[in-house]
Amino acid sequence: MVKTRHFLSNPTDNKMERVSNSIEALMNAAKAEIENFELRSEEKIIAYFSELPTIGRFPYKIILAEISDGSILSKFRQWDTEYNLKQWTSGINNLDRLRIITDEKILSETDTAILKKELSKLELIKLPETIRDQKTIILDGSEWKLGISLANKNRDYTWIASTEDINLFVPIIELIRKQYLDRIK
């Protein structure tokens, strides 16, 4: 039986905290938290990549945002699954107290040039509507997401198993992931 309850975090505060024994509720809360990037008015997302693994691993999302001066800012958010699951040993999870690891940095000039070159290549071709391999079944696998924002087209892709069209995006995915390889577990 799945239970989700709300408790007052502080008796003088009217904010309710959500606790649940549902793994699905926990994963949904984690997904919402890693999606919660605060952008400044001068930042525009040009690409993102995320991995939403099965429970027990570390879901994360990385965005690349262009700043008005042309530089690219990389922002990272990851749920510290290990910390929270060690903290909540009884199977009751506090959905409002997830530990989220964050970081941000400016891409190097070299990485910025590579990214802009790869995005320019994508501007010139017809992008696939999907890169999800519909013929493959994977049980208990990670869900991957990639988004790109180009001058004349925007695409969001989600897959568990991809088609060969993923090769169009591998240089961008590798560049995005490279920024935080030391943090991605």
Identify the CATH number of the domain in which residue 145 sits.
Answer: 3.30.1560
Residue 7 has pLDDT above 50, yes or no: no
> Residue 176 in 3-state DSSP?
helix
Backbone angles phi, psi at 80, to 5 degrees: -85, 80
Please report whether residue 184 resides in a domain: no
Q: Output the CA–CA distances (angstroms, integers) from residue 181 to 22, 76, 166, 184, in the order listed.
A: 30, 11, 20, 5
Could you list the residue range(s) of the whole structural domain that residue 95 is in?
4-178
Please report whether residue 159 resides in a domain: yes
Please report whether residue 31 resides in a domain: yes
Domain count, the chain: 1
Please report whether residue 136 resides in a domain: yes
Please report whether residue 35 resides in a domain: yes
Range with the largest mean pLDDT of 58-67, 75-84, 132-141: 58-67
CB 148 within 8 A of CB 168: no
Spatial separation of the C-alpha atoms in residues 136 and 121, rounded to whole Å: 29
- Looking at residues 5-23, what average pLDDT do you find? 65
pLDDT for position 14: 58
Please report whether residue 20 resides in a domain: yes
Please report whether residue 97 resides in a domain: yes
- Looking at residues 149-160, what average pLDDT do you find? 93
Q: What token pair was written down for 135? A: 């013929």
Please report whether residue 185 resides in a domain: no
90-94, 138-142, 179-183: segment of lowest average pLDDT? 138-142
Residue 87 has pLDDT above 50, yes or no: yes
CB 67 within 8 A of CB 39: no
Spatial separation of the C-alpha atoms in residues 15 and 132, rounded to whole Å: 40
Residue 53 has pLDDT above 90, yes or no: no
Q: Output the CA–CA distances (angstroms, integers) from residue 142 to 11, 145, 151, 174, 176, in the order listed.
A: 40, 10, 30, 17, 18
pLDDT for position 4: 41
pLDDT for position 103: 95
| pTM score, whole prediction | 0.87
Spatial separation of the C-alpha atoms in residues 16 and 6, rounded to whole Å: 5
Tally of CA atoms within 13 A in the half-sphere of 169 that contains its CB: 26
Pairing of strands 72-79, 60-67: antiparallel
